A and B are shown apart, each in its own frame.
Chain A
Amino acid sequence: MSNRRLDPFRWPALGFAAYLLVQAASAAALFALKLGGGAAGVRAFYLGAPERFTSAKSLAGLLEVAVPHLVAVPLVLFAAIHVVGFARKLSRRVFVALVALSFASAFAATASGFAVRWVSPAFAWLKVLSFAGLEVALVSWAALLLAVFLSRSHPVRRAAAATPVEEIVR
C-alpha cells in the first residue's frame, strides 16, 4: 500500500528534515562551546566560575534563552511528529515512545537550567541527559522524514492503514 497523497510534499518535507539536522548540529555545537559538554561545564555555566570570571546566571538571562525555546522546540516537534504520524511509518508503540522522549526531553532541557541555578547543582546531569535525549529525538524525526519522503512510494503499515491518524497520534 502506498500513500501517494504525500508525494507533492516531498521537497518541503526533505528541506524541513535538513533544517532539523542543522538545528540539532547547531545546538550540539552551542552546548559544547558554551556549556562545555559535561556536567561540570553546565554547573560552571549556570552558577558562575571565578577562574573564568563569570557570574551566576540571572533569572532574566535564563528566561531570555528559555522563552524562544519554549515556543520553537514544541512547534518544530509538533510539525515533524504530525507529518511522520500521517505517514504511519512506525508502530504505535515506537511512535508514542519517541513522542514522549521528544517532549519530555524538551521540557527537562529547559527546566533543568533553572533547577541547576536555584535548586541543586546535581541537576546538571539532568541537563546533559535531557539535551542528549532531545538531540536523539531531533535526529530521529529528521531520519524518519527522510525515510518517508525519500522512498519512491510511501509505504503505509498494513495494520495502521485502517486507523485514522488521530487515533495513532493520541
Chain B
Amino acid sequence: MRFLVLPKAVGRARPPVRIFLAFAALALVALAAQRVLSGGLSPAEIEAHYLGAGGGEALPAAALWEEVHAGAFVYGFVLFMLGSLAALCPLSAKARGALVAASFVATMADLFAPFAIVGLGRGGALRVATFVLATVSVAALLAVVAVSFGRGAGHAHGDHEDRRAQAQPDEAGPERAGGMGERRLPSAKQEGSRALPHTHV
C-alpha cells in the first residue's frame, strides 16, 4: 500500500510486482485448466457433479459452502491486489472501475452459481458462463496491469516523478512526501549511500 500511495516509489516496486503478476497468471491458468479438465465447460458434467450422477444425491450444503469459503479467499485476495495495482495503470478511472467491477461481479457469480444449480435442479450452463466470465475478466485485469508494469519504466503513474526524484533527491525535502506526515521512502541511491557510507566519495 505504501508503494502504491506514494507514486514516487513505484519504480522500486516494479520487480516484485512483475514476479507477483507471473505467479497470478500461472495460478489463473492452473485454475482454469483444473476446472476444464474436471468438466467445467460441460453443463451436463457440472450438473452431474452438483446434483449427483444418475439420480444420485446432490452435494451437501457444507460442500457448497466449502467451495465458497476457499474461492472467496483466492478471488478476494487476487482481485484486491490486481485492482490496487491497476490504480497505477494509465487507464481512465471509469475504465478501471468497470474492469474491477466486472471481475468482482463475475467471480461472485461464479462462487455462488453452485447454489443456483442445486436449488433449481439444473443450470449447468450458468456455471459454464460464470466460469468463462470470471476467468476472462480476471485475465483482462491482470493483462492491463501486466502491460503497464511489464514494459520499461515510464508506463505506470509515478515513473516520471520517480526518475526526477532520484535525479534530484533533495529538491522536495528528504522527510516529507505528502500532507499526511509520511516520511518519504529513501530512494535506491540514498539507501545505497546509507549502506556504504565510506565508499561513495
Contact = CB atoms under 8 A, between A and B. Distances in A.
Interface string A15-30: 1101110110011011
A33 B181 contact: no
Contacts of B101: 11
Contacts of B73: 19, 23, 72, 76
Contacts of A79: 77, 80
Interface string A127-170: 00000000000000000000000000000100001111100000
A149 to B, nearest CB: 12
A103 interface: no
A9 B4 contact: yes
B171 interface: no
Nearest to A86: B1
Interface in B86-122: 86-88, 93, 96-97, 100-101, 103-104, 108, 111
Interface stretch (B22-30, B49-57, B58-66): B58-66
A50 interface: no
Given A16-B80, A164-B181, A164-B182, A26 B65 contact: yes
Contacts of B62: 29-30, 33-34
B69 A23 contact: yes
A94 to B, nearest CB: 20
| Interface of A (DSSP majority class) | helix
B69 A26 contact: yes
Contacts of B77: 16, 19, 75-76, 79
| Interface of B (DSSP majority class) | helix
Contacts of B93: 8
Interface size range on B against A: 35 or more
Nearest to B68: A26
Contact of A161 (B1, B2, B181, B183): B181
Contact of B180 (A15, A68, A161): A161
Contact of B61 (A20, A29, A72): A29
Nearest to B98: A11
Interface string B1-21: 110110000000000000000
A82 B76 contact: no
Q: Give the interface centre of A11, A22, A165 by most chain B CB atoms within 10 Å.
A: A11
A79 B79 CA distance: 12
Given A19-B77, A20-B76, A165-B182, 16 more contacts: A5-B5, A5-B180, A8-B93, A11-B101, A15-B100, A16-B77, A16-B80, A23-B73, A26-B65, A26-B68, A30-B69, A33-B60, A34-B62, A68-B70, A75-B77, A156-B180
Interface of A: 1, 3, 5-6, 8-9, 11-13, 15-16, 18-20, 22-23, 26-27, 29-30, 33-34, 68, 72, 75-76, 79, 82-83, 86, 156, 161-165
11 contacts: A1-B179, A5-B5, A9-B1, A12-B80, A12-B87, A13-B84, A19-B80, A29-B61, A30-B66, A33-B60, A161-B180
